[in-house]
Amino acid sequence: MTGKGQGFGFGLGKMKELADAFKKAQQVQEGAKRLQEELEQMEIQGEAGGGLVKVIVSGNQEPKRVEVSPDALNEGAEVLSDLITVAMKDAYNKSTATMRERMEELTSGLELPGFQ
């Protein structure tokens, strides 16, 4: 046995690196919690038919409301259904892009060992 106090191959440099990684991970966790709260408060609007139908969702894609212009009602049920679907997809895509951007901002500059 050649155990010279190496302790599972972790030298002091590795321990500091690990401690720094934990500190950064904790900062990310706190940032993620704040981000989640921020996303819940956001209102992201998707629309269709030049604004005839609007779908509003939170930043984490929870539906908030649907606004239908009285003019949209004249289009008939089938067209109205299509407009609502298009507006929902628009809101979903915008909220997904917003979420992705915010997560990238949160994790930019992080250099966690083994996560590059």
Domain chopping of the chain, boundaries: 12-107
Distance CA 30, CA 36 (A): 10
Contact 40, 58 (CB under 8 A): yes
3-state secondary structure of 17: helix
Contact 48, 17 (CB under 8 A): no
Amino acid at 48: A
Distance CA 113, CA 14 (A): 10
Residue 50's pLDDT is 95
- pLDDT higher than threshold 50 for residue 94: yes
Higher pLDDT, 7 or 46: 46
Q: Which CATH class is domain 12-107?
A: alpha beta
- pLDDT higher than threshold 90 for residue 1: no
